[in-house]
Amino acid sequence: MFNLILQSLYSGLLSGGYFALIALGLALVFGTMKVINLAHGEMVLLAAYMAYVMESKLGLNPLMAIPLALVVACLVSVTVYFLVSRIGKNRELNSLILTFGIGIILTNAMLIVWSADIHSTAVAAFQEPVALGPLFSMKSELAFFGVSMALVGVLWWWLSRSWYGRALRAVSSNRDAAKLMGINPYRTEIVSFVVAGVLASVAGVALYCTNVIQPALGGSLTTKAFIITVLAGVGSIPGVLIGAVLIGVVEALTVTLFSSALQEFTSMALFLLVLFVLPNGLFGGARRRG
Amino acid sequence: MKLRILLPILVVLYGLVPFLFGGNNYIMSILVASLTIAGIALAWALLGNLGGMVSFGHAAFFGVGAYISALLTMKLGVPIFWAMLAGGVGSAIASIAILPALRLSGPYFALAILAYAHIFRVLATEFSGITGGAGGLLGIPVLPTVLGYSFSSKVGGYLVIITIIVIFAFIYDRIRNSYYGFALKAMHESEDATRVVGVHSTMLKAMMLFLSAFMTGVIGAFNSHYINFLEPDYAFNSGWTMLPVVAAIFGGYRTLTGPLVGAVVIYTVDQLFFKNYIPSGHQIILGALLGVMILFSPDGLMPLITKKLRWRRQVKASPSPSQETETI
């Protein structure tokens, strides 16, 4: 039993890697534009389907799909930006409904093109077991955990050190002041959407290589990403990372200890609990929401 | 609404529609289904317009009402109309769980309720001892016979749902024009300022949430007795959230008639046309419609139409319409 728990902790940790990528994309966009992109999960799923197309139609390794997924996800992301920025009044709520609509469009487009079937990778090399002491994982899980961590590291460096990263943080903390300092807020917002697209595309390929995909998955990916953002508290990369791992671990533990059907239930319950008890998130500052 | 307008509408709803289409089961079933959506859309719009909250979780209230009413009639033999009422009350009670989220503003509430809706589907699947689990409930009692008239037919179902909607619309209208309606309207402008003049804003929002949940629950209960079958994936289907949202936004969620007309139009067109051309994934058009409405006419179609009508009337009445339209 102890081994089982340890194993689910380990599996949860590994899946937390790409959860973090999805959540960071969502949080980044929310930070700069105060817009929650409800189509974010669908974007990730679209990238995953690019990997599926690459493998099943062209017979190539799904990893080769990353450039294609990058292009597609970034295009979708930037399109979302342009549509959202066209909203005149009451942007906070209307953007929610708009991106909800975009999510419906994407889900159904995927349904039309690829049907409701479940797909997963057939590349044997990805599924080879790797032992780490008593703990096991698939090769792809471990590899993508590494990739995700590296990407999170790069993102952290980019946000804290690079000019654009600082511009982004400036726009997110005070748009008008940033404008006075010579930052073009529009360009910065586009950049945040592009970066969200990049993160989503890697997360999508990771999703395809380690898991199964189907068109209906998008909504729950968005919810999961949002849960992680709330757990983390807005504006904290380590927080998002810990939140993602926490969700991964909680879900894995639920599957081990109770049943796989309750998997979604526990993370939702945890989410509502945190939202009610600690509305600023586990690692958020004292800033009041809303 | 004035009697002069109300009376003809009621005559059409209760007289003309059953008279014209009553013989055609296909049209009636589409009509009943579209009115089911219309009822949820009305409840959604009440929360959105008066409460100022966007909800992505109305499927939860729909499903809870449906299950409570179905179980009460099947296991305890409660009379159906009372059970439907109980379903509504049950949904309102279930909405207590989301009350703490009222402290959260805008997007946070919308997403909290999204997560909340997921929980109920899982619960309905897991507590299979009571709910029948994923296998669902079969043979839910049909709508009863009252005064010798059996409501179990398509026309009977139509009469029940239209009555429910008329009552709900009446309640909505009364609240909108009451003291509470004005207080809620003021809260849109500035919640803090409204609180300062002595309005208990959280309490009012909670009331709107209860009412919206109650209405959705009753509609869900009606639906379970109308189709006589329930399963978690059906009762808590995200379609029960999505269609009403599209309908309300399309018709105009700040109006009373908008969500109702929107739902009937959207559902009928979706079933008759979109579904034929794109069998799976026809909701893509609804998604596109939602996006287009938000971008080009966030107040919906009904205000657009009525504005045009009023404007025309004014052109005829007064020589200088430009000044008049300002005051509307």
Q: Where are the domains of chain A?
A: 21-238
CB contact under 8 A, B116 and A98: no
CB A90 to CB B298 under 8 A?
A: yes
Token pair 């998008």: residue: A218
Length of chain B (residues): 328
pLDDT band at A235 (very low <50, low <70, confident <90, very high): low
Q: Give the one of A105, A230, A289 whose C-beta lies nearest to B288's C-beta.
A: A105
**Residue A226 reports pLDDT greater than 80:** yes
pLDDT of residue B164: 92
**How many residue contacts between A and B have a Cβ separation below 8 Å?**
129
Across chain A, mean pLDDT equals: 84
* Distances in whole angstroms, Cα of residue B117 to Cα of each of A284, B58, B236, B238: 26, 7, 8, 9
The ipTM of this complex is 0.82
* Cβ-based neighbours of A260, under 8 Å, separated by 6 or more: A254
- The verdict on residue B251 lying in a domain is no
Identify whether B78 is part of a domain: yes
Position A144 pLDDT exceeds 80? yes
A interface test, pick of B98, B99, B118 with most A CB neighbours within 10 Å = B118
Q: Is the pLDDT of residue A289 over 50?
A: no
Q: Which residues of B touch A111 (CB under 8 A)?
A: 280-281
The band of B105, judged by pLDDT with boundaries at 50, 70 and 90, is low
Which residue of B lies nearest to A82 if distances are taken between CA atoms? B295
pLDDT value at residue A284: 58
Residue B317: other Cβ atoms inside 10 A: 9
CB B244 within 8 A of CB B40: yes
- What is the token pair recorded at B190? 């500035």
Is the Cβ of A115 closer than 8 Å to some Cβ of chain B? yes
Residues of A whose CB is below 8 A from B57: none
For A154-201, write each residue's pLDDT tens digit: 998 988 888 888 888 888 888 888 888 888 888 888 999 999 999 999
Tell me the pLDDT tens digit for each residue of A3-15.
Answer: 888 888 888 888 8
pLDDT category of residue B327 using cuts at 50, 70 and 90:
very low
* φ/ψ (deg, to 5) at B69: -65, -45
pLDDT: is B312 or B140 the higher one? B140
Q: Does A265 touch chain B (CB under 8 A)?
A: yes
B107 vs A36, A261, A276: nearest CB: A36
For residue B167, pLDDT over 90 is answered with yes
Range of the domain at B36: 26-237
- In total, how many domains does chain B have? 1
